[in-house]
Chains A and B, each alone.
Chain A
Amino acid sequence: MHPAPSIIIFTTLSGLGYGLAAMLGLGLLDPSAVATKTAHVLALAMISGGLLASTLHLGNPQRAWRALSQWRSSWLSREGVMALATFVPLALSAWFAVIDGRYVPAVGVVGAMMCAVTVYCTGMIYASLRSIQGWNTQATPLCYLLFAAAGGLVLATAFAAIAGSSTVVPATLGIVVVIAAWCAKHVWWIRLRTLSPLSTPETATGLSGIGRVRLFERPHINDNYLTREMGFKVARKHALKLSKLAMISGGAVPILLLVVAMLSGAGAVAVTASVLAVAFYALGVVTERWLFFAEAKHAVMNYY
């Protein structure tokens, strides 16, 4: 599948935003600190930025509001509805923190739960497509959820460090969830790279009774929408290398930096280490998202 930058930016940014919003909703940070108020604003900005980025790949973005109508059948519509609905508790929580400097557990927990449901919907958009066998598994939304949570915890550690409070709780949780996320992703990758194809050129043409099927002549000389959108092949050559780099950048390095932040107590070292952890983690997740699209094989390519 073609890795459209708008979708990669959307899933990465909104994933981090929902993760951070969920951790704020769970009350992991001191609500009176200026850093926490900033975190609320940043979470909302990342979520909105991601949503705006996702409309960039639309052919007719002026009709995007219509995407809220088909929540009965469409995961994309459900995601849109949940994304908008989640703004309500998140904005309320942000209001309480920024204006009053207080944490309201009821609103926060509801917001955190709705963040999780929204991210689950994002994952299900991909997991529900049978035509892309690599995505068609419940492990896909699980990875999306774990990466959002891990990102939220790494960000929460950075904001705790900036606020000068203890980073032990968010950093410890962060290390556990970062490990869980990459373990889940590793299993997902093993499945992707070892699965036997559901559809083949023989089932696609129904000509298995005669023999082995091979494309003799394409229907068009140049690329078309289908080959551009579904036929991306650049990544496969370096997929293994890239996935290792993603695990190092998004897993090993942030874990080390979180340990440093935790052990160094409050101060410049903790702030530097945890902010660097956020940067490396984001780079790792962008790589992971790029591979998510670039490595996925679409059934239509059996005709090409």
Chain B
Amino acid sequence: MTSLPSLPTPKKLGLVIDLDVCVGCHACVISCKEWNTGGYGAALSDQKPYGADVSGTFLNRIHTFEVVPEGGQVIGEAGEARIVHFPKSCLHCEDAPCVTVCPTGASYKRAEDGIVLVDESKCIGCGLCAWSCAYGAREMDLAAGVMKKCTLCVDRVYNETLKEVDRIPSCVRTCPVNARHFGDLGDPTSDVSRMVAERGGFDLMPEQGTRPTNKYLPPRPRKPLAASAAVLAENTDGAKGFFAWLDGMLDRI
């Protein structure tokens, strides 16, 4: 059934992604592909994997942006521009257009926890859900002809055969710098909700009216480059003791 759940879901499982912390290492991209190519549904295929024109299906990708403040310089050591690494996967929207456009009922949002999934046995691969998603969270698998998307590792988070520490999405488990957090964003007392409240977590493209569950934490304000780095100049002002003597001696030679 591709109508959205009529009531707000009791749990809103999702991710909180910290743009201040992400170093853009792509470990989450690889671990996501590794877990999901052997888990839920069809494998995540690659096309021409050993050729020059390699491409493939991924559920999570890292973009890197340059953000230039008003009047800031772009390049050079004194530049004010900053680099922000930007992980992007399905946001598990509350008003998910990818669910309502689906003609077959393959695309659905779970009423119990809000996870958006694709029932691949019903998917005809028309691609309309990918068109409807402003975030580019869905990619058609060209080998299987079905739509693939982040499952929030639904086959991990409830999986009692895994150790408790592993019952979180693969990307969250893998991130070496803790830039990704998993939890219930419908519960205001959860760690992720508190983090969002404290750090001013925000929605991507709120104007699209999709009400994403996943939240992003903004990069923390940064000191200007000049204020933090000591000026490296070749002088001996302030040298004392042995070094002052050595400096004087060497000058005289």
Is A5 part of the binding interface, using a Cβ–Cβ cutoff of 8 Å? Answer: no
Q: With a CB–CB cut-off of 8 A, which chain A residues contact B147?
A: 59
User: Are A303 and B126 in contact, CB atoms less than 8 angstroms apart?
Assistant: no
- Determine if B248 is an interface residue (Cβ-Cβ < 8 Å): no
Residues in A neighbouring B55, C-beta threshold 8 A: 220, 222-225
Per-residue B-contact encoding for A60-78, CB less than 8 Å = 1, 0 else: 1101101111101111110
B186 interface hit (Cβ, 8 Å): no
A76 pairs with B134, CB closer than 8 A: no
Q: How far is the CB of A298 from chain B (nearest CB, A)?
A: 7
A205 within 8 A of B: yes
| Contact digits for B94-133, partner A, Cβ 8 Å, 1 yes 0 no | 0001011111111000000000000000111111101111
Residues of B within 8 A of A80 (CB): 103
Known A63-B122, A213-B67, A219-B61; contact A203-B128, beta-carbon cutoff 8 A: no
- Range for the number of chain B residues in contact with chain A: 35 or more
Interface mask (B78-93 → A, CB under 8 Å = 1, otherwise 0):
0001111010100000
Task: Say which one of B168-176, B188-196, B205-213 lies at the interface with A.
Answer: B205-213
B30 interface hit (Cβ, 8 Å):
no
A300 lies within 8 A of B63 (CB): no
Residue of A nearest to B137 (CB): A300
- Least Cβ distance of B182 to chain A in Å? 20
26 A-B contacts, Cβ less than 8 Å apart? Answer: A59-B141, A60-B146, A67-B103, A67-B104, A125-B101, A128-B101, A130-B97, A130-B132, A130-B208, A131-B132, A199-B207, A205-B65, A206-B202, A206-B218, A210-B84, A211-B67, A212-B70, A219-B63, A219-B64, A220-B58, A225-B139, A299-B208, A300-B133, A300-B134, A300-B135, A303-B63
Known pairs A66-B103, A204-B204, A219-B62; list 13 more (Cβ under 8 Å). A57-B127, A59-B140, A64-B124, A67-B104, A74-B128, A130-B134, A199-B207, A203-B207, A207-B65, A215-B66, A224-B56, A225-B55, A303-B86
